[in-house]
């Protein structure tokens, strides 16, 4: 199998796993902050075990060049905090659809960060998402609008760390990148925690309250974070940041379907939501065909 084909398979598996994160975030009875805190701590531990069991990278030691991954980790922390915040402010479906705007930001950020030429068709495809988002929020209950703005902020940071990971992906093993970034997220949150307490911001209970919550949390960590993150980084070696974020736009499809089945969220949504979602999905499906046509034209 060609590396590019394997990369597409790996990124789609990662996206399916990512599709469960919003559902699990809604089901786990913890604040957005504590969900992310536990998620990255347990993910860092699991990745460290994988590294130590690997013959090629078991002698992993700190390298000053890893500071760039620490910075990326902080961006990931903000992305996850705003993503789960969006879920808490609105619902899983709204948060996931907002995340689909990641490709808009990536279309503009990738040429800046990676010093590549702006691809007009990528920008146009990204801009198609804007009217789709407008349709999504047209008749949305006002109480959910805070979740929309928080979700859009989350999408911006998702595009930022994806482009930066693409820039540095060939310099270090994906396992080490994942470990450094996850550990950086956890340290950043630990430093942020006393500040939030000082500001009297209630973070809620620290520990999950039931065995079922622990089960959801471990599923979120092992499958939807550790495995999914490694697969997405492996795929990023052979895919552009824009392609990766555009495929990730399928996450709302899986997530919304799961939210309907598991959380009965269709009661909070109307036909405009699904019309806008359909436009976003169609844009994702169109991209490989348009890219192939454009590459033939320019070659």
Which residue would you say has higher pLDDT here, 275 or 250?
Answer: 275
pLDDT score at 295: 67
Average pLDDT of the residues in 38-56? 84
Q: How many domains does the chain have?
A: 1
| Full residue range of the structural domain in which residue 129 is found | 3-298
Q: What is the pLDDT of residues 72-126, one digit of tens each?
A: 999 999 998 898 888 888 777 778 778 777 877 887 888 888 888 777 777 777 7
Distance CA 163, CA 109 (A): 7
14: Cα separation from own chain's centroid: 10
Q: What is the pLDDT of residue 137?
A: 64
Q: Are residues 190 and 34 in contact, defined by beta-carbon separation less than 8 angstroms?
A: no
| Pair of tokens at residue 207 | 């520990």
At 157, is the pLDDT very low, low, confident or very high (cuts 50, 70, 90)?
A: very high
Q: How confident is the model at residue 177 (pLDDT cuts 50, 70, 90)?
A: confident
pLDDT value, residue 11 = 84
Least confident of 65-74, 100-109, 223-232, 279-288: 279-288
Q: How far apart are CA 122 and CA 128, in angstroms?
A: 10
Taken as a whole, the chain contains a residue count of 299
């Amino acid at each position: 199998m060609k590396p590019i084909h394997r990369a597409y398979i790996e990124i789609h598996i990662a996206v399916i796993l990512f599709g469960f994160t919003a559902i699990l975030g809604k089901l786990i009875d913890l604040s957005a902050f504590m969900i992310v805190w536990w998620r990255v701590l347990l993910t860092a531990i699991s990745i460290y075990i994988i590294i130590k069991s690997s013959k090629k990278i078991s002698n992993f030691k700190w390298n000053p060049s890893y500071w760039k991954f620490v910075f990326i980790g902080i961006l990931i922390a903000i992305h996850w905090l705003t993503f789960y915040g969006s879920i808490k402010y609105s619902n899983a479906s709204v948060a996931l659809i907002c995340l689909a705007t990641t490709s808009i930001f990536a279309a503009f950020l990738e040429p800046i960060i990676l010093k590549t030429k702006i691809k007009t068709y990528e920008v146009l495809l990204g801009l198609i998402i804007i009217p789709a988002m407008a349709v999504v929020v047209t008749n949305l209950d006002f109480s959910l609008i805070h979740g929309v703005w928080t979700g859009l902020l989350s999408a911006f940071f998702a595009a930022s760390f994806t482009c930066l990971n693409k820039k540095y992906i060939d310099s270090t093993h994906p396992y080490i990148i994942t470990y450094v970034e996850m550990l950086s997220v956890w340290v950043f949150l630990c430093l942020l925690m006393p500040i939030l307490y000082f500001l009297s911001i209630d973070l809620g209970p620290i520990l999950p309250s039931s065995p079922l919550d622990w089960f959801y949390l471990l599923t979120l960590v092992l499958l939807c974070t550790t495995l999914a993150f490694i697969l997405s980084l492996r795929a990023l070696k052979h895919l552009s940041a824009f392609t990766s974020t555009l495929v990730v736009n399928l996450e709302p499809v899986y997530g919304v379907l799961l939210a309907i089945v598991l959380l009965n969220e269709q009661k909070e949504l109307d036909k405009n939501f699904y019309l806008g979602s359909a436009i976003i999905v169609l844009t994702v499906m169109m991209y490989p065909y348009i890219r192939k046509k454009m590459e033939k034209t320019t070659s």
